[in-house]
């Protein structure tokens, strides 16, 4: 498949969480690193050893990471909204 949307990645202006399984054979870990390297401010999480469903294999840590990430997004959005209104 020749689909490549790499040029769009630097234009993403919303909080982005990139979850990578270091042994993923469905989505190569390099693809996740490529995305995380190019999206401004992206948070990269690598689970090891983990395959494609590392977020299920490590559901406890993933739950906490997602909760923290979501809270930081909410705090940023609230702060931005307060400034712009």
Reading phi first (left if > 0) and then psi (alpha if -120 to 50, else beta), residue 18 is in beta
Residue 32 located in a structural domain: yes
Q: Which domain holds residue 26?
A: 15-84
pLDDT at 80: 47
Residue 27 is assigned to a structural domain of this protein: yes
Position 3 pLDDT exceeds 90: no
pLDDT digits (tens, 9 = 90+) for 26-76: 999 999 999 999 999 999 999 999 999 998 999 999 999 999 999 999 875
Position 7 in a domain: no
27, with CB counted inside 10 A (0-12, 13-18, 19+), is middle
Residue 8 lies in a domain: no
Burial 54-75 (b: 16+ CB within 10 A, else e): bbeebeeebeebeeeeeeeeee
- Number of domains into which the chain is organized: 1
The whole-number pLDDT of residue 78 equals 52
CA atoms within 13 A on the CB side of 75: 6
- For residue 47, being part of any structural domain is answered with yes
Please check whether residue 43 lies inside any domain of the structure. Answer: yes
Phi, psi of 20 (to 5 degrees): -125, 130
Q: Is residue 3 in some structural domain?
A: no
pLDDT, residue 68, reads: 96
Q: Is residue 48 part of a domain?
A: yes
pLDDT of residue 76: 59
């Amino acid at each position: 498949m020749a689909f490549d949307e790499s040029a769009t990645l630097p234009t993403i202006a919303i909080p982005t969480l990139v979850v990578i399984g270091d042994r993923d054979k469905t989505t190569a870990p390099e693809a996740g690193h490529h995305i995380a390297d190019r999206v401004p401010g992206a948070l990269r999480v690598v689970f090891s050893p983990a395959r494609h469903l590392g977020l299920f294999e490590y559901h406890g840590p993933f739950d906490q990471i997602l909760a923290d990430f979501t809270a930081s997004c909410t705090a940023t959005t609230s702060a931005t909204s307060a400034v712009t209104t």
